[in-house]
Amino acid sequence: MTGFGRLTTHVLDTANGHPARGMTIDLYRVDGDEAKFEKSVITNDDGRCDAPLLEGEALAPGAYRLCFHAGDYFSRVSGLPVEFLDVIPVDFRVGDATRHYHVPLLASPFGYSTYRGS
């Protein structure tokens, strides 16, 4: 494979109206019922990762899971215990590993939305 694709994310705290700085995100490759841990990152001041989660040869076609540690983030921001959402899993597939896959997350302590961004 000779692709130059990449996987990125961006997390917005919709409860407080700003990027979700300091949220932990775990990346897994999924094969059937097995999820293999790849890496853990923490969002920067803009709610993004400092580098792509995967890029180039490391991004292969297949199934992936991003686990956003929203409960820890919102507990830290509010000083309150986790009341509802804890870890938000987002499962998706990469078909063409030469393309850019951007997975934004808009999150609050009680709901979230995600989509394939650009």
Q: Each residue of 52-71: pLDDT tens digit?
A: 999 999 999 999 999 999 99
* Binding positions: 10, 48, 115
Tally of domains within the chain: 1
- The stretch 78-87 carries a mean pLDDT of 91
Q: What is the DSSP letter of 57?
A: G
Q: What residue numbers bound the domain in which 34 lies?
A: 6-113
Task: Give the pLDDT score at 23.
Answer: 98
Domain of residue 99, CATH code: 2.60.40.180
| 1 in any annotated domain | no
* Binding positions for substrate: 10, 48, 115
- The b/e string for 99-116 (b: 16+ C-beta within 10 A; e otherwise) is eebbbbbebbbeebebee
- The stretch 15-39 carries a mean pLDDT of 97
Task: Give the pLDDT score at 80.
Answer: 86
| 31 in any annotated domain | yes
The C-alpha angle with vertex 18 and arms to 88 and 94, in degrees rounded to 5, equals 40
What is the pTM for the complete model shown? 0.94
For the cut 60, the answer to whether the pLDDT of residue 51 exceeds it is yes
